[in-house]
């Protein structure tokens, strides 16, 4: 008489327990023959496709998936050729929803011939959703590290990197670049008179105007407070530079809608050039800041070049430019 505790014995009761386990599994489990007809399925198919384990028997893969069948036909070919196939796919359900799924097809051999395959399908939608959320959070964190939170413009960290790469490009192609500091004249008065909320709105609108005024290849940066820096790469001529400066001043021609009474405003602008005014981001930014100070000292609402580039004949007339 065999010991009832012998683990090698498998009674009908054990089979029922195994089926119970399979039917309580959230993943879809099934066996399909070489003709892609279902010979076994667990009750998870009822949650996914509205079909019980019994109703699944005899159904074809094409009938079950409908228009989605061509998307997995290649995977079925691979498993029927004797190779295990693991892949991800969004599965369309009868109610119109989709589930991100991890699918495993495992071939079943008999005497070296593939008789069919086992299918294991897990809903990984929560994991995919978490993955998307983490990716979005990472991108947001990266943007916060390199962009101004108020205006969305690049910040100093990103600006210095772009100036450095632009300098390297200028060394190859011989074309100068400009680093231009832009300051809003009397901005403190706007904050003190109308409040910081209005001031923030003004900064956002000015940032949009400056970005719209510049070329796609230019970089507009908010340095903090009411100061911006514009990086203009690959200048072909003095005329190009004058045009870019005029575009900056044109951005101040129209009063800001968020200011009560639509009060006018103006810019003071300081211009530094590579290679005349510096060979590094720090040198060029300091030079443009010094030029900005000169413009303010000369009466605001104008632009000025740094001491070095101002000595160049081509730039002397631009020094006294006024936008209004």
- pLDDT recorded at residue 259: 78
- pLDDT recorded at residue 9: 64
* Helical ranges in 66-154 per DSSP H: 69-80, 125-146
- DSSP labels, 260-275: GGG----EEEEEEEET
Q: How confident is the model at residue 4 (pLDDT cuts 50, 70, 90)?
A: very low
185 near 267, Cβ under 8 Å? yes
Q: Is the pLDDT of residue 5 over 50?
A: no
Q: How confident is the model at residue 309 (pLDDT cuts 50, 70, 90)?
A: low
CA-wise closest residue to 289 among 170, 278, 299, 242: 278
| Beta-strand pair 267-274/303-305 | parallel
Query: pLDDT tens across 243-283, in order?
Result: 999 999 999 988 888 877 777 789 999 999 999 999 999 99
- Strand positions, DSSP E, the chain: 28-33, 38-41, 85-92, 98-110, 113-123, 177-184, 219-224, 227-232, 267-274, 303-305
Q: Is the pLDDT of residue 7 over 80?
A: no
Q: Is the pLDDT of residue 34 over 80?
A: yes
Catalytic residue among 226, 277, 289, 310: 226
- pLDDT recorded at residue 308: 65
Let me know if 239 is a catalytic residue: no
Predicted TM-score of the model (pTM): 0.59
Alpha-carbon dihedral sign for residues 270, 276, 277, 280: positive
Say yes or no: domain 12-128 is CATH 3.40.50.1820: no
Name the residue ranges covered by the structural domains of the chain. 12-128, 147-320
DSSP helix, strand, coil percent of the chain (3-state; round to 5): 45, 25, 30
Q: Give the pLDDT mean for 210-215.
A: 95
**Architecture field, domain 147-320:** 2-Layer Sandwich (3.30)
Q: How confident is the model at residue 142 (pLDDT cuts 50, 70, 90)?
A: confident
């Amino acid at each position: 008489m065999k010991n009832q505790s012998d683990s090698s014995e498998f009674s009908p009761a054990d089979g029922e327990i195994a089926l119970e386990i399979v039917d309580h599994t959230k993943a879809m489990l099934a066996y399909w023959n070489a003709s892609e007809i279902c010979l076994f399925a667990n009750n998870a198919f009822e949650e996914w496709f509205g079909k019980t384990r019994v109703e699944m028997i005899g159904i074809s893969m094409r009938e079950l998936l409908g228009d989605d069948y061509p998307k997995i036909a290649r995977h079925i070919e691979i498993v029927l050729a004797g190779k295990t196939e693991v892949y991800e796919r969004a599965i369309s359900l009868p109610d119109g929803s989709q589930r991100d799924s991890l699918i495993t097809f495992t071939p079943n051999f008999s005497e070296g011939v593939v008789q069919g395959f086992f299918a294991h399908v897990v809903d990984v939608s929560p994991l995919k959703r978490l993955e998307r959320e983490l990716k979005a959070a990472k991108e947001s964190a990266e943007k916060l590290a390199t962009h101004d939170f108020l205006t969305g413009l690049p910040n100093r960290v990103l600006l210095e990197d772009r100036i450095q790469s632009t300098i390297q490009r200028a060394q190859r192609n011989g074309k100068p670049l400009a680093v231009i500091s832009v300051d809003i004249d009397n901005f403190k008065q706007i904050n003190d008179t109308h409040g910081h909320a209005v001031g923030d709105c003004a900064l956002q609108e000015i940032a949009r105007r400056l970005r719209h005024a510049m070329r796609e290849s230019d970089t507009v940066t908010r340095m903090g407070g009411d100061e911006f820096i514009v990086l203009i790469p690959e200048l072909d001529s003095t005329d190009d530079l004058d045009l870019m400066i005029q575009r900056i001043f044109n951005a101040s021609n129209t009063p800001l809608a968020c200011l009560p009474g639509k009060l006018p405003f103006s810019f003071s602008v300081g211009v530094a050039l590579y290679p005349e005014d510096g060979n590094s981001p720090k040198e060029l930014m300091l030079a443009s800041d010094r030029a900005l100070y000169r413009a303010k000292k000369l009466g605001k609402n104008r632009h000025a070049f740094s001491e070095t580039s101002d000595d160049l004949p081509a730039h002397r007339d631009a020094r006294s430019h006024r936008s209004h």
